[in-house]
């Protein structure tokens, strides 16, 4: 078949954003290499809205089986291995998420295909596909030459832009796996995270509190600055671990990946695990007393200074005239 196959992440009745990022990248690679793009959704029921949204693909497949409900990695990997093994695509693209990591490893193991995980970039040089992959939690990047045989790539969410604008709906063909073993694991229940008061991944302006804010008592100052800028407050992990802000405000490897128009870091050192979640922000501004703080390596503008002096001065400057 020699084409590019994106494995859609389909959870709770919706296709995850990362699927569209993968479709965008697959489309770009497909155009460069003259390969078609296919997308595969695995589900235990016919999803409602899928056809209209998978347009960037030339062809869409639904692998349908009553045992392939959410979080059935074993069955999904077996069904996908059977489907992909017959077709031998050039690349199988999935995400470095709970879903993608499970199925990528399963497919690789069952078919003996190479797997590249934590991929953050994919490019073509002289018709060779090269993947950039993060190792040691993002401290080191490696470039991997993809062999001329089917390879599974698990890409980090947020690595590629999703295609913009409407696209024609893909026609969906159904494929029913035969002889699938009954599932041994059953999803018991969803444990919801605490209600997300703010979605920091959608905010255009983020004021990010690091350990440098020293205490929860100083949060009102940070919130005042965020209000003055028309943004919302996010945090590094120590601030969340200390219970000063909820988990859904955390930026970074074990938190959320953000790409705001403005990221303003206050007392954030810029550890690799934090940078992983914010380095693609459009404008990065950092305030830190330590001029050697690694955040300054990625910041477009930096202030070497004390947030307790700079932030009140900033708020003062942002105050509307006469107030």
Ligand X SMILES: Cc1cc2nc3c(=O)[nH]c(=O)nc-3n(C[C@H](O)[C@H](O)[C@H](O)COP(=O)(O)OP(=O)(O)OC[C@H]3O[C@@H](n4cnc5c(N)ncnc54)[C@H](O)[C@@H]3O)c2cc1C
Q: Which of 26, 222, 307, 314 binds ligand X (CB under 6 A)?
A: 307
34: left (phi over 0), alpha (psi -120 to 50) or beta: left
Q: Which stretch binds ligand X (CB under 6 A): 4-12, 104-112, 122-130, 300-308?
A: 300-308
CB of 72 or CB of 269, closer to ligand X: 269
Taking the CA atoms of 70, 76, 80 and 82 in sequence, report the sign of the dihedral they define. negative
Say whether residue 269 binds ligand X (CB under 6 A). Answer: yes
Q: Which stretch binds ligand X (CB under 6 A): 88-96, 123-131, 146-154, 208-216?
A: 208-216
Say whether residue 254 binds ligand X (CB under 6 A). Answer: yes
CB of 27 or CB of 279, closer to ligand X: 279
Q: Which stretch binds ligand X (CB under 6 A): 32-40, 166-174, 181-189, 302-310?
A: 302-310
For β-strands 37-43 and 59-64, DSSP reports them as parallel
Q: 309 in helix, strand or coil?
A: helix
When CB distances to ligand X are compared, the closest residue is 252
Say whether residue 212 binds ligand X (CB under 6 A). Answer: yes
Cβ partners under 8 Å of residue 213, min gap 6: 219, 222, 239, 244, 266, 267, 307
Cβ partners under 8 Å of residue 136, min gap 6: none
Q: Determine which helix (DSSP H) or strand (DSSP E) holds 131, and give its type and residue range.
A: strand 128-135
Burial environment of residue 26 by CB neighbours within 10 A (0 to 12, 13 to 18, 19 or more): buried
Q: How far is the CB of 302 from ligand X (least distance, A)?
A: 11
Say whether residue 288 binds ligand X (CB under 6 A). Answer: yes
Say whether residue 255 binds ligand X (CB under 6 A). Answer: yes
Task: Give the closest residue to 151 by CA, choosing from 5, 299, 309, 312.
Answer: 5
Say whether residue 271 binds ligand X (CB under 6 A). Answer: yes
Q: How far is the CB of 51 from ligand X (least distance, A)?
A: 36
Residue 235 phi/psi, 5-degree rounding, is -155, 160
CB of 124 or CB of 135, closer to ligand X: 135
Contact between 95 and 152 (Cβ < 8 Å)? no
Contact between 180 and 42 (Cβ < 8 Å)? no
Locate 144 and state its tokens: 């991997």
State which of positions 125-184 bind ligand X (CB under 6 A): 137
Say whether residue 289 binds ligand X (CB under 6 A). Answer: yes
CB of 177 or CB of 270, closer to ligand X: 270
CB of 179 or CB of 243, closer to ligand X: 243
Q: Determine which helix (DSSP H) or strand (DSSP E) holds 235, and give its type and residue range.
A: strand 232-235
Q: Which stretch binds ligand X (CB under 6 A): 14-22, 39-47, 104-112, 265-273?
A: 265-273
CB of 92 or CB of 258, closer to ligand X: 258
Interface residues toward ligand X, by CB under 6 A? 137, 210-212, 236-238, 250-255, 267-269, 271, 273-274, 277, 287-290, 293, 306-308
């Amino acid at each position: 078949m020699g084409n590019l196959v994106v494995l859609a992440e389909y959870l709770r009745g919706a296709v995850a954003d990362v699927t569209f990022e993968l479709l965008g990248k697959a489309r770009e690679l497909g155009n460069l290499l003259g390969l078609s793009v296919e997308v595969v959704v695995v589900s235990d029921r016919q999803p409602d809205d899928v056809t209209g949204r998978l347009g960037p693909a030339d062809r869409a497949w639904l692998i349908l089986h009553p045992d392939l409900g959410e979080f059935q990695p074993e069955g999904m990997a077996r069904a996908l291995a059977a489907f992909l093994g017959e077709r031998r695509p050039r690349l199988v693209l999935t995400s470095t998420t709970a879903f993608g990591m499970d199925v990528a490893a399963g497919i690789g193991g069952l078919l003996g295909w190479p797997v590249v995980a934590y991929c953050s970039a994919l490019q073509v040089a002289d018709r060779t596909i090269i993947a950039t992959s993060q190792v040691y939690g993002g401290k080191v990047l490696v470039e991997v030459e993809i062999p001329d045989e089917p390879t599974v790539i698990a890409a980090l969410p947020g690595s590629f832009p999703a295609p913009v604008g409407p696209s024609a709906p893909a026609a969906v063909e159904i494929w029913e796996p035969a002889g699938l073993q009954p599932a041994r694991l059953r999803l018991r229940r969803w444990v919801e995270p605490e209600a997300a008061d703010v979605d920091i991944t959608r905010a255009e302006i983020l004021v990010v509190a690091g350990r440098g804010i020293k205490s929860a008592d100083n949060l009102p100052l940070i919130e005042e600055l965020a209000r003055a800028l028309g943004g919302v407050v996010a945090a590094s992990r120590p601030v969340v671990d200390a219970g000063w802000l909820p988990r859904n405000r955390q930026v970074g490897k074990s938190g959320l990946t953000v790409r705001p128009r403005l990221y303003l870091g206050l007392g954030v050192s810029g550890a690799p695990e934090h940078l992983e979640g914010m380095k693609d922000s459009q404008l990065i501004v950092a305030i830190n007393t330590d001029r050697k703080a690694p955040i300054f390596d990625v910041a477009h503008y930096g202030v070497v200074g004390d947030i307790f002096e700079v932030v009140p001065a900033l708020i003062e400057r942002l105050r509307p005239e006469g107030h």
